[in-house]
Amino acid sequence: MLFTGKLNKMRNYAMLTCFAGIGVMYIGYAGFAGFLGSLFQSYIFMSIFLALGLIFILGSTVFYMYIGMLSSKALQVECPKCKRITKLIGQTDDCMYCRQTLSIDPKHAPKPNGTTV
């Protein structure tokens, strides 16, 4: 269920970017505290890594805002397989619940055996 539908994929990448930022900040602090050896024990090392981590987190925040705007404009359709309402981004997308390929355009619709044109 983690990587079903374009919206969920983008949300997961934004979350991973946020966690990466926290990890980079932690590495900066660990270096300053002496956990990485005396070579990395400086204010410059810590400042660079804390700034990089902050940039990752701010980028993740902007990406989450963009995903929210996309989600509010997304077309809501009923999945024919699981009968649940899901959001569609673009011409084709997967159902967020059952991974059924959905399409707005009939020429992009999946064939009965599961393949697309």
Q: Is residue 13 part of a domain?
A: yes
Q: Is residue 1 part of a domain?
A: no
Residues 90 and 37 in one domain: no
pLDDT along the chain (117 residues), means of 10: 75 94 95 87 93 97 94 88 88 85 77 58
CA-to-CA dists, residue 95 to 15, 31, 57, 80, angstroms: 21, 44, 29, 10
Residues 16 and 66 in one domain: yes
Q: Which domain holds residue 88?
A: 75-108
Q: Is residue 104 part of a domain?
A: yes
Encode pLDDT of 30-49 as tens digits.
999 988 888 888 899 999 99
Give me the helix-helix angle, 43-73 and 6-33, nearest 10°. 170
pTM value is: 0.76
